[in-house]
Amino acid sequence: MIGKNILVFGGSGQIGRHLIRRLTNNNHLVTVATRNLHTKGSILKTQGNPGYIQIVETNIFEEEKLYNLIKDKDVCINLIGILYESKKNTFKNIHVNFPNIISRISKEQKLEQFIHISALGIEKAKDSQYALSKLEGEMKIIKNFPEATILRPSIIYSIDDNFTTNLMSLLNLMPFFPIYYNGKTKFSPLHVSDMSQIILSIIEKNICSEIIECVGPEEISFKQILEKLLFSIDRKKILIPFPLVIAKLLAFFLEKFPKPLLTRDQLNLLKYDNVLSGNRKSNIDIGFISKLKFENEIKKYSYMWKRGGEYSK
């Protein structure tokens, strides 16, 4: 049985790659739009069985091309997002203008579903440009496509992330590790395979017109995340609470780099707990309870950051 005809934006990212595998394994036909076929094509091609995946290069602001991509699809999924701004890749362009365009075209073309990945905690983080832009993007989508489903995940992690993998590299390199807000900010890490399963359920159960918070099975602080990573890579490092002024100064310099490790906007965002708000539906309400625990899952790949590799003592 052939499933739905699904268009994915942002398919080369962490969630995208896992999602494409999940969708094609479940007989859905997937078209992935990428901005660079040469660098991303080879990665994308191997994510789906032959015949189930098509890859198309496009500039995400070329409306005519977007129209042609969207017009014959059943579902459009937007996974494009950025954590810091650069040149034309502003929060406004990526989190507001682009979702505005594709949700409008998706409605005009009478797609069955529009699924958009936003982020948890954006209603509280009023001093973060990232959060404000994600919230504005959500509002545009709901206006254009009232039946859209918006997912707000906490941190998504896996071997393909930029979170646990970067932290483990830094924990290995640095003699000590700075923590902000005393490391007390809480997260509810969700494994990427659970996130993909949630998106698949939304398609297969035809869930529409919802904002759904997506969380893992536990709430853990940033300090506990670092401790679990250190334990997993068998390292001992001192975690030093940084005063906010120094952290801001550090972020001011770091954000000048092309791929900054920390920006002042991220520092603002880090102040807010990234756990269920209690005001919205969650993955639990749609029948999906995540069981994958952070420390068990990171163990499956953290050995690559251990001195000597997997079987080292």
Shortest separation between residue 105's beta carbon and ligand NAP, angstroms? 16
Strand, coil or helix: 211: strand
Q: Which stretch binds ligand NAP (CB under 6 A): 31-39, 44-52, 222-230, 254-262?
A: 31-39
What is the rounded CA–CA span in Å between residue 66 and residue 75?
Answer: 14
Among 26, 35, 254, 295, binds ligand NAP (CB under 6 A): 35
Among 40, 191, 228, 237, binds ligand NAP (CB under 6 A): 40
If you ran DSSP here, which 8-state letter would residue 123 be given?
Answer: T
Q: Indicate whether 153 belongs to the interface with ligand NAP (CB under 6 A).
A: yes
Residue whose tokens read 């499956």: 300
Nearer to ligand NAP by C-beta: 127 or 234? Answer: 127
The 9-28 contact track toward ligand NAP, x by CB under 6 A, reads -x-xxxxx------------
Secondary structure E strands in the chain: 5-9, 29-34, 53-57, 75-78, 113-117, 149-153, 156-157, 176-179, 186-187, 190-191, 210-214, 220-221, 238-241, 281-282
Q: Indicate whether 155 belongs to the interface with ligand NAP (CB under 6 A).
A: yes
Among 80, 96, 233, 262, binds ligand NAP (CB under 6 A): 80
**Residue 156 to residues 31, 104, 161, 195: CA-CA distances in angstroms?**
23, 28, 8, 8
Give me the helices (H) in 188-221, please: 192-204
The 116-145 contact track toward ligand NAP, x by CB under 6 A, reads -x-x--------------------------
Residues 6+ apart with CB under 8 A from 280: 152, 211, 212, 213
Shortest separation between residue 40's beta carbon and ligand NAP, angstroms? 5
Q: Which stretch binds ligand NAP (CB under 6 A): 151-159, 169-177, 234-242, 286-294?
A: 151-159
* Residue 163: both structure tokens together: 């979170």
Site for ligand NAP, rule CB under 6 A: 10, 12-16, 34-36, 40, 60, 79-82, 89, 94, 117, 119, 153, 155-156, 163
